[in-house]
């Protein structure tokens, strides 16, 4: 489906401290300092050219062979290249993914509300503002005003499926980074501020999932699902192969126990839990929209599982396990 890979920073190289994230925002702000706020498609193209790294160090295998094979297959399918480099590559890739989504919204519209579309492509700007950027006054990337017609052909559906997932992966990275910064912050106010960004990115990641599936289910059956089966990919292609979610889960497992008690037991953390529920519910929504209420998932089909469970039910079970574990961690904090 892809034409040019999105160079996402390898998950092992993501920023882990507030200082590293501040360094990233400073570097990105310096890159775009000579550009005015983008007000046209031409401006957005120029902004993308400035942000997208022309050269980057490709990240080699870093996992066990079985994990690396699964992760790499998933990356390749959605047009993701893993890079090594400085922390600013994380933020640059996030902004590039937002720009690509803005172009997708201009090309073929969305059922998301104007406010939801703005949130979908606004996370990178929020991080720049948090880093005291000179652009603190507004959102750098904006969706087009008019969005009315859904994708109507196979090509535009494929582009939406891809751009929505690529933005979703970038959002998962942002959740991981802001969780790490919340832990690294030394004050309750600092931790809560980064956790507010985590809430934002959980919400926008959920919107990215909805956006990725925002087209006629018949187009999915006819054009997209077949590409996720052999010989195009290995048997049992699954969202469990998402590298960024694998690392996100590790960041979430001990989050509450590493925050100050007032933050772990406070309103912002409860908002985070609710946003995380929205994120997992969005995955269930995609399963249901594309036949998961009656059919098994590709992974279940490949394993020849005959449990009487549908793909949507299995996604719901998985979400419940993850959320219960998170809640248990908070109770223990």
Please report, for the chain, the start and end positions of each structural domain, with discontinuous segments joined by +.
6-258
Interval 31-54: pLDDT, tens? 999 887 788 889 999 999 999 987
Helix 154-184 and helix 123-130, axial crossing angle in degrees, nearest 10: 20
Q: In this predicted structure, what is the pLDDT of residue 53? A: 83
- DSSP string spanning 105-138? HHHS--SS-HHHHHHHT-HHHHHHHHTT-TTTTS
CA 67, CA 53: separation in Å to the nearest integer? Answer: 27
Whole-angstrom distance, CA of residue 103 vs CA of residue 282: 22
Q: What is the pTM of this model?
A: 0.91
For residue 60, what pLDDT band results from cuts at 50, 70 and 90? confident
pLDDT tens digits, residue range 192-245?
999 999 999 999 999 999 999 999 999 999 999 999 999 999 998 988 899 999
**What pLDDT score was predicted for residue 327?**
54
């Amino acid at each position: 489906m892809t034409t040019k890979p999105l160079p996402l920073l390898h998950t092992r190289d993501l920023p882990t401290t507030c200082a590293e994230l501040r360094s990233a925002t400073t570097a990105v702000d310096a890159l775009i300092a000579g550009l005015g706020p983008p007000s046209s498609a031409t401006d957005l193209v120029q902004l993308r050219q400035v942000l997208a790294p022309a050269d980057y160090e490709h990240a080699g295998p870093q996992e066990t062979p079985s994990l690396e094979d699964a992760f790499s297959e998933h990356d390749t399918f959605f047009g993701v290249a893993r890079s090594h480099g400085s922390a600013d590559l994380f933020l640059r890739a996030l902004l590039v993914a937002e720009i690509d989504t803005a172009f997708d919204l201009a090309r073929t519209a969305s059922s998301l509300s104007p406010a939801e579309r703005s949130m979908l492509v606004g996370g990178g700007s929020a991080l720049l503002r948090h880093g005291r950027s000179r652009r603190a006054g507004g959102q750098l990337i904006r969706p087009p005003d008019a969005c009315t017609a859904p994708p109507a052909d196979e090509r535009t559906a494929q582009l939406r499926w891809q751009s929505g997932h690529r933005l979703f992966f970038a959002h998962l990275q942002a959740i991981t980074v802001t969780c790490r910064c919340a832990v690294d912050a030394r004050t309750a106010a600092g931790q809560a501020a980064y956790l507010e960004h985590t809430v934002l990115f959980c919400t926008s990641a959920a919107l990215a999932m909805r956006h990725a599936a925002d087209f006629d289910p018949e187009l999915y059956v006819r054009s997209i699902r077949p590409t996720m089966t052999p010989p195009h990919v290995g048997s049992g292609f699954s969202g469990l192969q998402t590298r960024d979610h694998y690392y996100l889960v590790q960041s979430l497992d001990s989050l509450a126990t590493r925050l100050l008690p007032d933050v772990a037991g406070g309103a912002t953390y409860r908002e985070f839990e609710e946003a995380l529920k929205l994120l997992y519910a969005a995955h269930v929504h995609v399963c249901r929209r594309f036949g998961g209420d009656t059919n098994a998932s590709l992974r279940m089909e490949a394993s020849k599982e005959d449990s009487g469970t549908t793909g949507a039910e299995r996604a719901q079970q998985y979400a419940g396990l993850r959320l219960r574990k998170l809640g248990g961690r908070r109770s223990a904090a």
